[in-house]
Amino acid sequence: MEAQSGDTRFVIVSNRGPVTFSRNEAGEREHSRGAGGLVTALNAVSRRRSEAVWIASAQSEEDVRVAKESLDEPYEVEGLKVVLVEHDGGAYELMYNRLANPLLWFVQHGLYDLPYAPELGDDTKRAWEEGYVPVNENFAEAVARILETSQGGEKPVILVHDYQLYMAPHALRERLGSGADDAFISLFVHIPWPETEGWRVLPSYVREGVLRSLLEADIVAFHTEGYARNFVRTAREVLGVEVDEEEGVVRPEEGREVWVRAYPISIDPEEFEDLARSDEVLQEEESVKNLPGTLLLRVDRMDLSKNIVRGFRAYDRMFERHPELREQVTFLARCQPSRGDIPEYARYAEDIQNAVDEVNEKHATGSWQPVVLSMEDNFPLSVAAYKNYDVLLVNAVRDGMNLIAKEAVVANQKNGVLILSETAGAYEELGEHALTVNPFDIDEQADALYEALTMTDEERTRRAEALEETIRANTIEEWAEAQLKDIAAYRERHG
């Protein structure tokens, strides 16, 4: 995707930004990378589109200082133009910790134990009205301000990302006023979209409010055809709007079309090749190489959707069945702290620690620890591990895409085997060359681990090459290009 000066004003909006700022002991400003695969992908887009402005939430105290400095003028960092938005603390807490992450995230990943949870009520309504909606409006305000300061006669393109910002299309149309019709708005949903029955768990004001807002965008995008299809059906079944399932079109009102599309997100292979050679990664690599035996790896945020606990249970079961593998393998589990203020996440972090302790107590010997749990927030260390794994476990309960599977395959130098959950979005592309697992089946995962750890070199090479080829055929470049092409086509059709 080439940068084109004088081109359409181009704004990316996401809750999590590319970097987060802090102060070091000497009082100087520092920054580190934002969490999650979405940031990696948008980073690659933003770098190629040099005029793009990336608007995201201020997360730390230092972010708030940057937010105040970047009100009208983007802050330049690592070649990106970033605007951080300061939200009201209480509103943000309600949006992030009450509405977006437990509720929408759980509904869309199917994580609720429905006979018991969720328990909805007035608190939910408050989180919506005083948290989610105002935070979305605050984002719209920031977008409008940036567009006002950069008026160039070009029609703006506003690419909104993910479930924290479902109300942004509505807020943007309202806030941009008469200019709103000129603005192209897309909303990319990076997480699964459930079938209508799953969506109906939400209270009606959320269920319908979100759908109506999304239908104020011009394109609603997903990672897989399956999620896109579910969305079209949900719109028809919940709102009763006219849809064309074949074409992926929703017609919320006379004369208006919303295109619903699937663009499987990917990575920038070059970025990972460069990273793999970087000094920071080389420094971390020694510690990875020193781990004894074959290296089994997982890299995840500590999220319930990632199925981390069942992964340890399966590893335990594998040793029960194949005790001869003891001392022959180390499981490096890179589990990044995430959303710790939400009780379900705090409990899950404890469950992970307990599951690791159990495996280690049961199988460790004097000279060998079966699982090394690393909770350090250290991206270079993850990349060092990507380079050296023999087997990568991705056994998510459900996952929009799972970019770890793509990043790790490209960086890996050992013909590593990928074990992949059939319910991860990445499965549509990579499943054929991975070992498939049902994320709920511990025995099947134990067997897959054994098969991967004992696979012949020939078979490993064949699979690893096919995986890499598949990923390189659809990089972040193609992901971005496909969207730009559709934006142009949409505009040609609808002005």
User: Which stretch, 37-45, 173-181, 256-264, 423-431, contacts ligand F6P (CB under 6 A)?
Assistant: 37-45
Cβ–Cβ < 8 Å for 374, 367: no
| Binds ligand F6P (CB under 6 A): choice among 1, 35, 180, 249 | 35
**Touching ligand F6P, residues 171-190 (CB under 6 A):** 190
Assign 159 to helix, strand or coil. Answer: strand
Distances (CA, A) of 195 to 109, 226, 310: 11, 10, 25
Nearer to ligand F6P, 86 or 162 (CB): 162
User: Which stretch, 34-42, 173-181, 367-375, 440-448, contacts ligand F6P (CB under 6 A)?
Assistant: 34-42
User: How would DSSP label each residue in 241-269?
Assistant: -EEETTTTEEEEETTEEEEEEE------H
- 372 is an interface residue for ligand F6P by CB under 6 A: no
**Touching ligand F6P, residues 87-106 (CB under 6 A):** none
- 191 is an interface residue for ligand F6P by CB under 6 A: yes
Assign 280 to helix, strand or coil. Answer: helix
User: Which stretch, 4-12, 30-38, 180-188, 353-361, contacts ligand F6P (CB under 6 A)?
Assistant: 30-38
Q: Site for ligand F6P (CB under 6 A): how many residues?
A: 13
d(CA 260, CA 234): 12
User: Where do we find the tokens 């499987």?
Assistant: 264
Distances (CA, A) of 288 to 153, 379, 392: 53, 13, 14
d(CA 139, CA 310): 38
Nearer to ligand F6P, 102 or 416 (CB): 102
d(CA 169, CA 136): 9
Nearer to ligand F6P, 216 or 300 (CB): 300
Nearer to ligand F6P, 16 or 491 (CB): 16
* DSSP 8-state assignment for residue 424: B
Q: How far is the CB of 101 from ligand F6P (least distance, A)?
A: 6
Q: Which spans in 70-161 are helix H?
A: 89-93, 105-109, 122-126, 133-149
Nearer to ligand F6P, 222 or 319 (CB): 222
User: Which stretch, 33-41, 222-230, 429-437, 471-479, contacts ligand F6P (CB under 6 A)?
Assistant: 33-41
Cβ–Cβ < 8 Å for 79, 98: no
Q: How far is the CB of 358 from ligand F6P (least distance, A)?
A: 27
Residue 80 phi/psi, 5-degree rounding, is: -110, 155
Assign 421 to helix, strand or coil. Answer: strand
Nearer to ligand F6P, 230 or 338 (CB): 338
- 111 is an interface residue for ligand F6P by CB under 6 A: no
| Binds ligand F6P (CB under 6 A): choice among 8, 108, 266, 338 | 338
* DSSP 8-state assignment for residue 399: B
Nearer to ligand F6P, 35 or 77 (CB): 35
Q: Which spans in 248-367 are helix H?
A: 269-277, 279-289, 308-321, 343-363
**Touching ligand F6P, residues 377-416 (CB under 6 A):** 400
Structure tokens at 466: 């096919």
Nearer to ligand F6P, 402 or 415 (CB): 402
Q: How far is the CB of 381 from ligand F6P (least distance, A)?
A: 18
Cβ–Cβ < 8 Å for 105, 163: yes
- 339 is an interface residue for ligand F6P by CB under 6 A: yes
Read off the amino acid at residue 464. A
Nearer to ligand F6P, 338 or 423 (CB): 338
Beta bridge partners of 259: 219, 249
- 33 is an interface residue for ligand F6P by CB under 6 A: no
Q: How far is the CB of 261 from ligand F6P (least distance, A)?
A: 18
**Touching ligand F6P, residues 7-26 (CB under 6 A):** 15-16
Q: In what order do the strands lie in the sheet with 329-336?
A: 371-374, 329-336, 294-301, 391-394, 417-421, 435-437
d(CA 335, CA 226): 28
Q: How far is the CB of 223 from ligand F6P (least distance, A)?
A: 10
Nearer to ligand F6P, 39 or 383 (CB): 39
**Touching ligand F6P, residues 133-172 (CB under 6 A):** 162
Q: How far is the CB of 19 from ligand F6P (least distance, A)?
A: 13
What is the contact surface with ligand F6P in residues (CB under 6 A)?
15-16, 35-39, 162, 190-191, 338-339, 400
